[in-house]
Amino acid sequence: MTLTNNFPSCLRSLLLSLVLAAAPVRAYAAEAVVPDWAIPMGHFYTQTNGSGGASDLGFAVVDDEAARFLTEFRQFGGLPALGYPVSQRFQHGGLTAQAFQKGILLWDDVAQSAHLMNLFDELARSGADSFLETHRFIPPSEPWHEDTGQPWHVVVANHLALLDDYPEIARAYFAERQHGRDPIVHNGLPMGLRDYGSVVVMRAQRRAFQLWKVETPWAGAGEVVVVNGGDLAKELNLVPTAAQEPTAAPVPPFEIGDAEQGNILFRDTGCMLCHGLKAEGGIGPALAEDTVEFGAFLAAVRRPDGTMPAYGADIITDQGIRDILAYVQSLGQDDEP
């Protein structure tokens, strides 16, 4: 069954409640619905929907004909580097764009890859500099007259010199190298730097870095934090308001698995060798009782933490694991009086 974007939400929640009803209540009581989950060709995130976990609306990151944002999101370092998505796709200067907490990806149709928007340059163009400095401690860019007529390597050297007195910021700026990524491509050129007393802020074209000199709830003294520039872009309407609204997921967090198919897979991929034909347990633990949450089940199969062999997507798909979970759950039901 394919559930599309247009799938009526009443039916969706009905399906969801059916799935939930099929699972032992005990396990769900402790753990709320998963905050993010796999969807066809992508992944769906509710973490940034602004509801603090109270709604299942969110933002999908997908690969499709228009753009491969899921692939590029991972390429750019995924969650640790870009944070969660904070917008739907939108059009920006003729390109397809999507905002994440720490940057905005722009899809380049010709290169068939994405790059990060020079979002602080764009915010400057939209007249946001004084707001940024007064309310968000983001310094304006230097005028950079010395760049005029210079070759690129001189321009780069001019801008990198901003980091000379701040080794902690330089380390954070160049950290991308450890992951094989070009810091200039990732952050843009350093453009401005200012010491605000408790925090020193360096503004690059694509990202801004804060060096905290005092202990704060979000950073220790001496720690460098990358500013959530994507959130600033949202606040300052560089992201169109319509695209800022979270939407319903194309498939619910617990897509209904096919228990019959799951039974076959459970046999054929060898799960039953260790877990028993009816998942009653053997070398591995019994599964029927307490493994009901798809995210945890998926993780246990993809990244087991003991002697169980890991099953990659080349051996069994996410949907296959859903099917096995449905089979395991159907066993749990049979056992009930």
Cα–Cα distance, 230 to 238 (Å, whole number): 9
Question: For residue 278, which of 106, 196, 183, 286 has the smallest C-alpha distance?
Answer: 286
Token pair listed for 109:
């149709």
**Residues present in the chain in total:** 337
> Which residue among 62, 311, 323, 332 contacts ligand HEC (CB under 6 A)?
311
Which CB atom, from 27 or from 79, has the smaller least distance to ligand HEC? 27
Which CB atom, from 184 or from 272, has the smaller least distance to ligand HEC? 272
Site membership for ligand HEC, residue 309 (CB under 6 A): yes
Between the CA of residue 312 and those of 7, 41, 61, 171, 320, what are the distances in Å? 30, 17, 21, 35, 11
- From residue 258 to residue 297, what is the string marking binding to ligand HEC with x (rule CB under 6 A)? -----------xxx-xxx-------xxx-x--xx-----x
Site membership for ligand HEC, residue 106 (CB under 6 A): no
Site membership for ligand HEC, residue 327 (CB under 6 A): no
In the complex, minimum distance from the CB of residue 296 to ligand HEC, in angstroms, rounded to a whole number? 8
272 within 8 A of 262, measured Cβ to Cβ: no
Site membership for ligand HEC, residue 314 (CB under 6 A): no
Cα–Cα distance, 136 to 143 (Å, whole number): 20
Cα–Cα distance, 7 to 37 (Å, whole number): 18
Token pair listed for 142:
């230097």
Which CB atom, from 222 or from 270, has the smaller least distance to ligand HEC? 270
Which CB atom, from 27 or from 199, has the smaller least distance to ligand HEC? 27
Binding interface with ligand HEC (CB under 6 A): 269-271, 273-275, 283-285, 287, 290-291, 297, 300-301, 304-309, 311, 316, 324
